[in-house]
Structure formats: C-alpha cells, structure tokens
Chain A
Amino acid sequence: KAGVTQTPRYLIKTRGQQVTLSCSPISGHRSVSWYQQTPGQGLQFLFEYFSETQRNKGNFPGRFSGRQFSNSRSEMNVSTLELGDSALYLCASSGGRSDGYTFGSGTRLTVV
C-alpha cells in the first residue's frame, strides 16, 4: 500500500513569507503528526491531528499551525517565515492505539 506522501519535497521561501506543506497519510490512518528536524534541535514534535481535531501540540509559536481534512489529509502552515524555520518537516501517520508511526520522506524548507 502507498506510504505517507509529503509535498513538495523541497521549497525555498523568503523571510516574511508564509508556506503550506501537505501530507497524505496511509489509507485508513486517522492520526497525523508533524515534526520539525534541524541539526541543532533534532526532531521536535509540532502537533498531532486525529479525526480533524488537534489532539496534542508541541512548544512552537503560533506561527505554526495545521489542520486535518475529513479524508485525513493534513496541512501545516508557517506564517511570517524566519531563517530559523529552515528545516526538514516530517509528517507521520498511525492507525491508532499502540501502532507505530509511519513517516513520510519530508519537505525540506529553506528560508533565505
């Protein structure tokens, strides 16, 4: 079956702009999580959505937001981009309960 699909794979934006990243989970998975990975901070949890509701949130400023649609696809948005937002953004989906998460290949965002 198809894995977790993230688009786009690479993105270059200018400071002050906003960006929207997309994630299509594995078919049937209702939980979608987002993570940011940087060389300095490693992998950090952004937020998790389940059945269109944000269920958990990490310690990121309000510029980072997300949503989930009825088909479980998810988007995350970063407004007023800063240089420090340059990172690999990873999406992961889960079938629920104690199942492990399946990660996508990520979107590499570069802010210049």
Chain B
Amino acid sequence: DAKTTQPTSMDCAEGRAANLPCNHSTISGNEYVYWYRQIHSQGPQYIIHGLKNNETNEMASLIITEDRKSSTLILPHATLRDTAVYYCIVSYTGANSKLTFGKGITLSVRP
C-alpha cells in the first residue's frame, strides 16, 4: 500500500500557483519524498524529490515540513499543459528502492 495520502482532485486557474499537498506521516528517516506526474497515456514524469530540505528546480518547488510528515509541491505558474495526475511517493534509494504509487491527485488547470 502507498504510504502517502493525497486529495483526489483539485483545480487552479492558469497562471496561478498550484499547491499540491501530501501526507506521509509514517515516513522513515532515510526515505525520500518524490513527486511524479502522468499525463494521459504517457509514462510518469519525474518532477522533483527531497529528503529534509526544501528543493526547487525548473519545474517546481518542494516544501517538506520540519517533522517530514507532510509536503507540498508547488507549480509556481500553472499552465494548461500541467493538467495531469500527480503522484507523491516516499521511497528508499539503492537496494530497497521501488516506487509505490497511490491514486495520486488529479490537477485540472482551467483557462
């Protein structure tokens, strides 16, 4: 079973920030938080990951709470092409690594 909990869906207006929450209250100390998204019928796309500190890349920002029990993915300026299912996953790395996908959150960006 997935170790994360996400809302089923959310929407936001094009050009606005999209804040996608994720709860992972049972995360272990050496598990990373990964975010992927999947646009219909395509393979999942890696977005960002982090362990403890907040992270930012060209696609998004990841904010992890100090107790690491929850995180938020931020798409700073959502576009219509960001409409997708977003998966929050906690995972070990190395020999124990595997991605356990939950149902994800469907983000709909409206014009």
Whether A and B are associated in the same complex: the answer reads yes
**Which A residues lie at the B interface, using CB under 8 A?**
4, 31, 33, 35, 42-45, 48, 50, 55-56, 58, 88, 90, 92, 94, 96-98, 100-106
Residue from B36, B48, B99, B102 in contact with A45 in the complex, judged by beta carbons closer than 8 Å? B99
Q: How far is the CA of A70 from the CA of B96 in the complex (A)?
A: 21
Interface size on B, residues (CB 8 A): 24
**A97's contact among B94, B102, B103, by CB below 8 Å, is which?**
B94
Given contacts A56-B95, A104-B43, A105-B42, contact A43 B101 (CB under 8 A): yes
A69 to chain B, nearest CB (A): 20
Q: Which residue of A lies closest to B34 (CB)?
A: A100
Over the window 71-111 of chain B, the binary record of Cβ atoms lying under 8 Å from chain A Cβ atoms (1 yes, 0 no) is 00000000000000001000001111111111100000000
CA distance A58 to B96 in the complex (A): 12
A50 to B93, CA, bound (A): 12
A42 pairs with B101, CB closer than 8 A: yes
**CB atoms of A55 and B46 under 8 A apart:** no
